[in-house]
């Protein structure tokens, strides 16, 4: 509780990162920097988890460096109840890997695709619930493929829609998936393309 009150939402228990969602955007104490800013990312680059404060970037750094230096496949499991911040944690890991991984022909395009895929996945798989305006109603297994130099060269995403009934019957006070409302607010041209 003390850490949470001070805006320290991350704690480590061995290799496990525990996060308590603050339900607000946090800044680095004494600055106007977001805790997810490029400046904060730099503090974690090439650092051991033991040498830096607990943070999602420390977890991303450990997995990425293990992948590059040891050439071992890595997996980060993000788990929690609705509203725990799983979607944001996933985005921040992707942002970190995109920032610290190498560049070159085609690499920037791959990074752009996997970063922008979140918006599409959220539109089709997230909905307003009583507890959360942007609640993921699906499971996601995101696999990013890297070359030997640690540059992303491709990837795949497997989605598991958890609430198919939400398509036709959302709960009272809740909504269906975002994509339906986005299409209805689209231009006449877009709606006519889809027969809406």
Q: Write down the pTM of the prediction.
A: 0.84
Query: What's the whole-number average pLDDT of the chain?
Result: 89
Instruction: For 135-194, write each residue's pLDDT tens digit.
Output: 888 888 889 999 988 999 998 988 777 777 888 888 899 999 899 899 989 999 998 998
Task: List C-alpha distances in Å: 152 to 3, 39, 66, 148, 186.
Answer: 35, 22, 15, 10, 33
124 Cβ contact list (under 8 Å, min separation 6): 159, 177, 178, 179
| Percentage of the residues of the chain whose pLDDT score is greater than 90 | 48
């Amino acid at each position: 509780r003390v850490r949470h009150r001070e805006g320290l939402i991350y704690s480590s228990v061995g290799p496990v990162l525990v996060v308590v969602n603050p339900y607000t955007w946090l800044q680095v104490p004494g600055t106007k920097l977001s805790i997810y800013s490029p400046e904060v990312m730099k503090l974690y680059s090439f650092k051991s988890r033991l040498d830096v404060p607990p943070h999602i970037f420390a977890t991303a750094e450990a997995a990425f460096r293990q992948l590059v230096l040891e050439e071992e496949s890595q997996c980060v499991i993000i788990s929690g109840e609705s509203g725990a911040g799983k979607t944001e944690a996933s985005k921040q890991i992707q942002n970190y890997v995109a920032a610290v991984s190498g560049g070159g022909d085609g690499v920037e395009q791959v990074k752009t695709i996997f970063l922008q895929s979140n918006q599409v996945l959220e539109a089709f798989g997230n909905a307003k619930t009583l507890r959360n305006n942007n609640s993921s109603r699906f499971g996601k297994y995101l696999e990013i493929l890297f070359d030997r130099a640690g540059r992303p060269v491709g990837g795949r995403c497997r989605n598991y829609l958890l609430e198919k009934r939400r398509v036709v019957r959302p709960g009272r006070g809740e909504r269906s998936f975002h994509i339906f409302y986005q299409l209805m607010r689209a231009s006449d041209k877009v709606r006519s393309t889809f027969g809406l």
